Amino acid sequence: MSCGEGFVIWLTGLPAAGKTTLANALRDELRKAGKRVELLDGDEVRKWLSPNEGFTKEDRERHLMRVAYVSRLLARNGVAVIASFVSPYREVRRRIREIVESDARFIEVYVKCPLEVAMRRDPKGLYKKALAGEIRNFTGVDDPYEEPEDPEIIVDTSKMSLREEVDQIIGYLIEKGLLESR
């Protein structure tokens, strides 16, 4: 692979772990480096690709397989894709990796954050609603989040600054020849 080739950075973690914040900062950094970048973020993409899907395990899987396919198409055409999705199940993430790697490089980034910290952040009030029984199948409350077993990168948003998180990912991309040195 060369610096001109596309790749997929898949951000996975609990709701309110900091995936969207990291994705936006990373997109800006990659654009500054001259990459063509597409950010696929959970809420926005769901609205267009899977408006009729709910949040059961099967619904999530169908939705994420669509996202994996779109990510692969973009990446094989030279786009740096940042996919920001809770994607709570290991087996589904394994299948996503297989889909993408048939044509492009896949980089799994575990956006680690303790549940208590994510619940305190809760910018949309979703944990509160889930704990009150207003939302079903909510990851971290009544649906599990299966931590990645061997991600390429782990960033801990409860301990690292946003700058440190971005620098770690950019450093990895440079090391792997996917991005020119700064």
Give the model confidence (pLDDT) of 130-152 as tens digits.
888 888 888 888 888 999 999 99
Q: How far apart are CA 84 and CA 13, in angstroms?
A: 9
* Residue 79 placed within a domain: yes
Report pLDDT for 126: 86
* Residue 180 placed within a domain: no
* Residue 36 placed within a domain: yes
H or E element at residue 107:
strand 105-112
Q: How far apart are CA 136 and CA 1, in angstroms?
A: 42
* Residue pLDDT, tens place only, 62-112: 889 999 999 999 999 999 999 999 999 999 999 999 999 999 999 999 999
Does residue 141 contact residue 35 with C-beta atoms inside 8 Å? no
The mean-pLDDT minimum among 4-8, 113-117, 147-151 falls in: 4-8
* Residue 134 placed within a domain: yes
Q: Give which of 31, 27, 55, 28 is closest to 43, Cα–Cα.
A: 55
* Residue 94 placed within a domain: yes
Name the average pLDDT for the chain.
Answer: 91
Does residue 40 contact residue 79 with C-beta atoms inside 8 Å? no
Catalytically active residues are 87
- By residue range, what is the domain housing residue 137? 7-175
DSSP string, 156-168: ETTTS-HHHHHHH
- Provide the number of structural domains found in the chain: 1
pTM for the structure as a whole: 0.92
* Residue 28 placed within a domain: yes
Q: How far apart are CA 31 and CA 60, in angstroms?
A: 30
* Residue 182 placed within a domain: no
The mean-pLDDT minimum among 46-50, 78-82, 171-175 falls in: 46-50
Give pairs for 87-91: CB < 8 Å, separation 24+: 87/10, 87/12, 87/60, 88/12, 88/60, 88/139, 88/143, 88/144, 88/145, 88/146, 89/57, 89/60, 89/61, 89/144, 89/146, 90/146, 90/148, 90/149
Report pLDDT for 1: 45
Q: How far apart are CA 13 and CA 10, in angstroms?
A: 10
* Residue 2 placed within a domain: no
CATH of the domain at 44: 3.40.50.300
Report pLDDT for 51: 65
Tokens of 46: 């769901």
